[in-house]
Amino acid sequence: MSAQATQCPFGRGAEAPADHHGFEPFQQEDPFPAYQRLRDEQPVMYDERVGYYVVSRYDDVKAVFDDWATFSSENAQAPVRERGAEARQIMEDGGFTAYSGLSARRPPEHTRIRAVAQKAFTPRRYKVLEPAIRQNASDLLEKMLNDPQRHGDIFSDLAYELPTVTILTLIGADISSVDTFKRWSDSRAAMTWGDLSDTEQIPHAHNLVAYWQECQRLVRVAHEHGGDNLTGDLVRAQRQGAEISDHEIASLLYSLLFAGHETTTTLIANCYRVLLSHQDQWCRLVEDSKAIPAAVDEVLRYSGSIVAWRRKALIDTEVGGVSIPEGAELLLVMGAANRDEERFENSEVFDISRPNAREHLSFGFGIHYCLGNMLAKLQAKIALEEGIRRIPTLRLVKNPETPFRENLSFRVPTTVPVTWEA
């Protein structure tokens, strides 16, 4: 590809690269060779196709996450592609005013809301859910095992429902509506981090309106009837003087009803997909299930659910020696950082005994570090423990097609076909 003189929207500092080193922002099939080229050849690259500085080395990604005063998260939930007129109208008419629960908020507002959320979002809350999570995992696997052809799909048979039921229970939402919440979440992922045309946005706009109305309804129900769940906790905290408005509680629910299952579905699917394609390591877990938590961290490093997240420079600054002008937006590619040789020896190798796998950046870093990381890991651990206990002979269907959805941030395998011995 020849070098092009492309106009940087910020007018200084950035020059379009001769090529993009194979990096395709929305393509998630196999981004890893391009990630390596980016790290090696242009670790901070301005990509004029999306308007972001693409940051791919571990130290740079971590440093940006860590410096919230210079790099704000206010663009983390902004639509990558501008919303079309019709979608905007549908959302306005439907009273859609949801804002990010936490991840796109800045201190001091972020500090205030996170303090309230953290109190309601205690490990105690989800520890009590552990037996139900285990039972649910076991029931879902049992159903899969009933297939007379001995064919299953870990994505649709296990990973889809397990964390969704957990978060709906935690929040006090209707657990018989898994498909509805999944549909709304798909719409949110596509409308925010997808590359949709104006026409494609329309059905998703309707879904977002319904999704937001449900979040507001849940807050009203908690005011009227209390409830031994997270929504009830947040409303009680407000009544006891915690500084949080109903709109902020509804916005938190709007975040959790997406973040609380979407990425865990992917994590569970990835645990099976990656481990079963490294059969020797699956067998090690069959022999020693105590190694499962470390294996989950290595899956998060090697194949994270979120491969890229955004930040915005608040002042003229620099990343990895490259000037970044005030107002510029950055795409922090954690998927690339997690395979940086400078941090992880033999970084392209999947190895459940890697001593520093936990240093991955898949949950971010700093003040916005994922609030649900322990719940996500707990569910992946249980999902694996139950699978390994019940079906040690599980294996991937030979040459499975694993299409990944097109998305800027979420790398989602849509199927993990498996079989097992009788």
Which of 17, 25, 372, 417 touches ligand HEM (CB under 6 A)?
372
Residue from 17, 152, 260, 417 binding ligand HEM (CB under 6 A)? 260
185 lines the binding site for ligand HEM (CB under 6 A)? no
Would you say the C-alpha torsion 255, 301, 48, 262 has a positive or negative sign? negative
The size of the interface with ligand HEM (CB under 6 A), counted in residues, is 31
Nearer to ligand HEM, 28 or 263 (CB): 263
Q: Is residue 192 within the footprint of ligand HEM (CB under 6 A)?
A: no
Q: Can residue 370 be called a binding residue for ligand HEM (CB under 6 A)? A: yes
Q: Which of 63, 116, 190, 306 binds ligand HEM (CB under 6 A)?
A: 306
Nearer to ligand HEM, 18 or 69 (CB): 69
Cα–Cα nearest to 374, from 256, 264, 295, 265: 264
> Which residue, 209 or 307, has its beta carbon nearer to ligand HEM?
307
Cβ closer to ligand HEM: 87 or 154?
Answer: 154
Closest approach, Cβ 271 to ligand HEM, in A, equals 10
Tell me: does residue 255 bind ligand HEM (CB under 6 A). Answer: yes
Choice between 81 and 106, CB closer to ligand HEM? 106
- Site membership for ligand HEM, residue 363 (CB under 6 A): yes
Identify which range of 34-42, 46-54, 214-222, 252-260 contacts ligand HEM by CB under 6 A: 252-260
Nearer to ligand HEM, 205 or 319 (CB): 319
Check residue 412 for interaction with ligand HEM (CB under 6 A).
no
Which range touches ligand HEM (CB under 6 A), out of 129-137, 236-244, 337-345, 370-378? 370-378
Cβ nearer to ligand HEM, comparing 21 with 354: 354
- State yes or no: residue 265 binds ligand HEM (CB under 6 A): no
Task: State which of residues 61, 237, 256, 391 lies at the interface with ligand HEM (CB under 6 A).
Answer: 256
Under the binding rule (CB under 6 A), the answer on residue 362 touching ligand HEM is yes
Among 238, 264, 281, 338, binds ligand HEM (CB under 6 A): 264
Residue with tokens 């889809």: 160
- Shortest spacing between CB 201 and ligand HEM, in angstroms: 24
Among 364, 387, 413, 417, binds ligand HEM (CB under 6 A): 364
Task: Write phi, then psi, for 313 (nearest 5 degrees).
Answer: -75, 130
413 contacts ligand HEM (rule: CB under 6 A): no
* Alpha carbon distance 248, 234 (integer Å): 10
């609030």: which residue's tokens?
Answer: 371
Q: Is 171 in the site for ligand HEM (CB under 6 A)?
A: no
As measured in angstroms, the least distance from the Cβ of 168 to ligand HEM is 11
Q: Which of 44, 64, 98, 102 binds ligand HEM (CB under 6 A)?
A: 102
Based on the shown chain and the rule CB under 6 A, indicate whether residue 258 belongs to the binding site for ligand HEM: no
Q: Which residue is nearest to ligand HEM (CB)?
A: 372
65-84 residues near ligand HEM, rule: CB under 6 A: 65, 73, 76
| Beta carbons of 245 and 273 less than 8 angstroms apart | no
Q: 18-38 burial, b for 16+ CB within 10 Å, e for fewer? A: eebbebebeebeebbebbbbb
Report the residue from 162, 235, 308, 376 that binds ligand HEM according to the rule CB under 6 A: 376
3-state secondary structure the chain: CCCCCCCCCCCCCCCCCCCCCCCCCCCCCCCHHHHHHHHHHCCEEEECCCCEEEECCHHHHHHHHHCCCCEECCCCCCCCCCCCHHHHHHHHHCCCCCCCCCCCCCCCHHHHHHHHHHHHCCHHHHHCCHHHHHHHHHHHHHHHHCCCCCEEEHHHHHHCCHHHHHHHHHHCCCHHHHHHHHHHHHHHHHHHHCCCCHHHHHHHHHHHHHHHHHHHHHHHHHHHHCCCCHHHHHHHHHHCCCCCCHHHHHHHHHHHHHHCCHHHHHHHHHHHHHHHCCHHHHHHHHHCHHHHHHHHHHHHHHCCCECCEEEEECCCEEECCEEECCCCEEEECHHHHCCCCCCCCCCCCCCCCCCCHHHCCCCCCHHHCCCCHHHHHHHHHHHHHHHHHHCCCCEECCCCCCCECCCCCECCECCCEEECCC
Residue 205 identity: A
Where along the sequence are the contacts to ligand HEM (CB under 6 A)? Answer: 65, 73, 76, 101-103, 114, 167, 255-256, 259-260, 263-264, 267, 304-306, 309, 362-366, 368-372, 375-376
